[in-house]
Structure 1
Amino acid sequence: MSRRIAIAWVVVVAAVPLASIVFALSVFLQSVALERSSEPFSQERWLRAAPASDERYRLAIGLIDSRALTGMSVDDVQRMLGPRHLSQADNTLSYSVGDPGTFGLGAHLVIEFDADGRAKRAFIVRD
């Protein structure tokens, strides 16, 4: 094997894993940056946005950060956010929201209620 061919193989063998690492790192960093990208909550924008949209994801982060849901009843939450999009467990409501950081995989805004039926926390769950 000639010296040029050997050098070419070494370059190719080294370049492929390096390119894969760079790609994976860029995807991870983009995901981290977008994960906490939020917008102040607006009921009008929430109701107008598509259920699994990235806009709803950003609004959901803003809603969680504001803690506006804390203490609200199930009926109050549904008046604010509209009917739930996913099945309701005993003490939760769940709404589909987009997730800009995971290649189109879905995410859900989950609102958990205490024994008195008042919202105690809200969080995002990814599929």
Structure 2
Amino acid sequence: MISLAIATILSAAVCVYHLLEGKQKRLPKLMSAPLSEPDKQWFSALFYCQSVFYVSTTAVFLVCALKLLPEMYSYSLLLFLGLNYGMYAIWLFYVALLSPPQASLRLRLQSLVFLLIALLAVLSPLQL
């Protein structure tokens, strides 16, 4: 279960990074951009929905790592969350390929972290 503990730590780091960087840099830039009010509300809602996803998946990883949830339930839950992180890593890598060079490195690094979380989460219930 070391792989699940590492996935939990990485997921918590992603969660903290998203909340700190998003609140300080990304959200204020979006709110001051020349967009309509419904668009600003949509981006704000998207940020908070993504925050809830990161916090909840980190909590699920922690609960499964501490074996507070029966293995029967954690098996499918970890596979599902691993696939979610894997799909997000692929999507983020594709966005990084289309991005300008100054943003591409950060996005590629983020996609590698998401891919690592996905692999660790999927391999944990399979015990490989």
TM-score by length of 2: 0.31
Structure with larger RCO (C-alpha < 8 A, sep 6+): 2
Q: Which has the larger radius of gyration?
A: 1
Q: Which has the higher helix share?
A: 2
